[in-house]
Amino acid sequence: MRPIVIAANWKMNTTPSDAGDLARTIASRTRVRGVTRVICPPFVAIAAVRDAVAGEEVEVGAQNVHHELAGAFTGEVSAPMLAGLATWVIIGHSERRAYAGETNELIGVKLDRALEGGLRPILCVGEQLADREAGRATAVVDDQLRGALEGRDSAALAACGLVIAYEPVWAIGTGRNARGADAAAMADAIRTSLRGVGWGSLADDTPVLYGGSVTSTNVDEFLSEAAIDGALGGGASLKPDEMAGIVARAGVTAAARGLAS
């Protein structure tokens, strides 16, 4: 049975002085059986969050990782540097693709580094509005997956717990929302793409999260879909009330799938 995962991407928000308190509050208000909770703060706040949630069943992730292990890469953070700080990492987020020019091939190399460093990756994929309106949404996501995963060890990636987050770029911070049926259809397409690059039955075991402006108000529409296994939240993940609502709803799905015992 695929796990239910709620991941919080804090993006470029919080500081070391306030991140710990926020993480502690969220952790205390989201104790729900059967739901894997992950908080991904900025690099400078990872240690504060790690310490704040010690003793809680909350895991810590990084928002990015460099594709090299070390070297003259000013301002970057490598997988070995995250040892003891984080156990998860977001890779290929749409903002990294757009603002840092990350290609599918580079994202694939980052997956290699995450695997070597013992980090559980959340691989983000998703289309722009123009792609959806032109009927290319599935093709774009398939291309992203093939570019990152083709030729890589599917068994090793599955064993490390690869999670895929579908984030329709046109639904992030725009006021436009995808529908649950759209997300479920894309989740099915994602698993078809995984089978296309040699994942076989492992595709059916790979969790797919929805990540387009998730809130406590709209999360039910996505978690009601059997193909969706959780959410990657942005702005809402900085608000304890929102996170409490999102995780509570995820708990309903976890219970329905027999994961809450």
pLDDT on residue 171? 84
Asked whether the predicted pLDDT for residue 176 surpasses 80, the reply is no
Which sequence positions are flagged as catalytic?
93, 167
Question: Which residue in the block uniquely carries the two structure tokens 């093709």?
Answer: 139
How much is the pLDDT for 156? 97
Please state the rounded mean pLDDT for residues 9-34.
98
Tokens 């013992």 correspond to 118
172 within 8 A of 234, measured Cβ to Cβ: yes
Residue 177 has pLDDT above 80, yes or no: no
With beta carbons less than 8 A apart as the criterion, state whether 38 and 60 touch.
yes
Report pLDDT digits (tens) over 113-140.
999 999 999 999 999 999 999 999 999 9
Per-residue pLDDT, 213: 87
How buried is 146 (Cβ within 10 angstroms: 0-12 exposed, 13-18 middle, 19+ buried)?
Answer: middle
- Residue 175: the pLDDT is 72
Domains of the chain, first to last: 4-256 (3.20.20.70)
Residue 174: which pLDDT band, with cuts at 50, 70 and 90?
confident
Residue 97: the pLDDT is: 97
What is the identity of the amino acid at 61?
Answer: G
pLDDT tens for 26-85 read 999 999 999 999 999 999 999 999 999 999 999 999 999 999 999 999 999 999 999 999
5 has which bridge partners?
A: 36, 230
Query: How far, rounded to the nearest angstrom, does the alpha carbon of residue 209 sit from its chain's CA centroid?
Result: 7
Residue 172 predicted with pLDDT over 90: no
The tokens of 34 are what?
A: 């059967």
Q: What is the mean pLDDT of the chain?
A: 96
At residue 16, does pLDDT exceed 90? yes
Confidence at residue 139, expressed as pLDDT on a 0 to 100 scale = 98
Taking only the tens place, the pLDDT of each residue in 51-63 is 999 999 999 999 9
CA nearest 228: which of 186, 258, 176? 186
